[in-house]
Structure 1
């Protein structure tokens, strides 16, 4: 039994997740706290979307697509779908289904398909991601937008629009904090109807998928409204532990001061004391990010971001019992 957990503070990024548009105002996703302040956030769905995108672009991940119909037809026994055979085939061939799970109901080919058991095909995701919450508070900043240049050059000549478009969008720049946890036992396997667990992938392929995930997180980015925003870590803490628990989800607290961050080192140290294997706690920092970096280095054995991720990857290899992948 084992789990990988990491908590990340991202690079400073701008306006990462918009919700519903009200009138001509694009509204950021926000959460109000008890003191009346507001934090902006990036939903877990948005983070997973960017992870899957980079997985496909950079690691060759296969994402769920229309070919699932072929997998249904290939695992039919008469008019009944063999749920276990179907699920194992998806785990083997689709990185998205293996790591992020899925739920299928009312499956059909030419007609509705009966299942060998249950009323749906479902997989609990081995990779869980929290919302990414901003470090700094939202202050209600707005950006006034118009398309006057494009309107004058071509829009008024080809579209039935008598005037330019005017819009406003909420803006917020901040570092963000989120946690990612991976159930290393569940990745690359399939849980059958009776609750038993069957390996689908080799230990080498299991390790590779988790290592690819760490590579993606190390250089994660967000594409939004024609912009690239970096979500690469300026701070990361975590490790592979015998207890499957997001130990540092409540342990990483920071505040912005004069363009830098101040980390609550005492809180982080207390959370680290809860970890069964304290010697495996990995801390990585981008130099110059924190005002109290010396305090952090006195409390922990601090690595660079690159070194921290290499150590995390080493722990994953050791867990699966593979040398190189």
Structure 2
């Protein structure tokens, strides 16, 4: 049975997106399921981070004509512009060209329900500097000095997300009569995404957030779907080692574990799933991608 897609499900420690704020108060984005709230990082945020960090957006060009959109033409399209691999909708006059993304992400949803941790900060140093340079008394003239306390919900927890790449769609653009990308270019685009997932980091409120995989499972399969999304479960810092998860791994896939006590049942994971190291997992996956494209 021919392989058509590459799919991964990742468990990583990461912070959440921030939603709507109220004054000087910021709240993390959440989803509600099973009667509880779970912190989340949106698929759009993850996709943008991957496109930027992978260099896929390095050749991005935009146009502004009533709406800001990715620049697309006969000369610039997904066959020769990596930035368009993530999909586009481009309208010129009465013509609208749409190309779906060749890879898809789910939201990264916390494995445990949300527990509020509020952090309090202020801009005291900046306000003190302004007061000193303008002969003001910080206590008496706090408003004039711009002194502002603020607070925000903080969340960095284990979150799970899935990524699936349509290998047959990479480097092609049916909207234009352009020769598709070379096999080497196709492989390089997929590998650029994999490299980023392996070393993913996010900048949140000025802080660098290491979001590398603690556990990852996947491989090349014949179905264009998030194959492991429904069988990877984390409960109380334990990966649930189920028969369904084992069966799907045996279908030409593999698992990887970042050793070091991130999960309470590491011994069970090792005996039940026989994971490799995260580094070896991605090395082998890159080889499979190159083989798929004949590179």
Q: Structure 1 length normalisation: TM-score?
A: 0.79
CA distance in 2, matches of 1:184, 1:312: 13
Preserved contact between residue 27 and residue 170 of structure 1 (Cα < 8 Å) = yes
CA distance in 2, matches of 1:229, 1:287: 19
Change (3 A) 1:302 1:198: farther
Structure number with the higher helix fraction is 1
Match of 2:147 in 1: 164
Preserved contact between residue 79 and residue 179 of structure 2 (Cα < 8 Å) = no
Change (3 A) 1:144 1:298: same
Kindly state the Cα deviation for residue 160 of structure 1 after the two structures are TM-superposed.
Answer: 7.5
Alignment of 1:180-195 (within 5 A): 180-192=163-175
Match of 2:9 in 1: 7
Kindly state the Cα deviation for residue 292 of structure 1 after the two structures are TM-superposed.
Answer: 1.5
CA distance in 1, matches of 2:286, 2:149: 49
The superposition leaves residues 180-211 of structure 1 with CA deviations (integer Å, 9 ceiling, x where unpaired) of 00000011112259xxx975101111011101
Match of 2:89 in 1: 103
Match of 2:214 in 1: 234
Match of 1:80 in 2: none
- Secondary structure class of the residue paired with 2:162: strand
CA distance in 2, matches of 1:123, 1:192: 7
CA distance in 2, matches of 1:191, 1:9: 35
Which of 240, 245, 270 is the aligned partner of 2:225? Answer: 245
Which of 119, 130, 137 is the aligned partner of 1:143? Answer: 119
Q: Structure 2 length normalisation: TM-score?
A: 0.86
Match of 2:265 in 1: 292
User: Could you say what the CA RMSD is over the residues aligned between the two structures, in angstroms?
Assistant: 2.7
Match of 2:138 in 1: none
- Secondary structure class of the residue paired with 1:164: coil
Alignment of 1:17-166 (within 5 A): 17-35=17-35, 37-56=36-55, 61-66=58-63, 85=74, 89-98=76-85, 100-105=86-91, 107=92, 113-115=93-95, 120-154=96-130, 157=133, 161-166=144-149
Change (3 A) 1:284 1:150: same
Kindly state the Cα deviation for residue 156 of structure 1 after the two structures are TM-superposed.
Answer: 7.3
* Corresponding pairs, count: 282
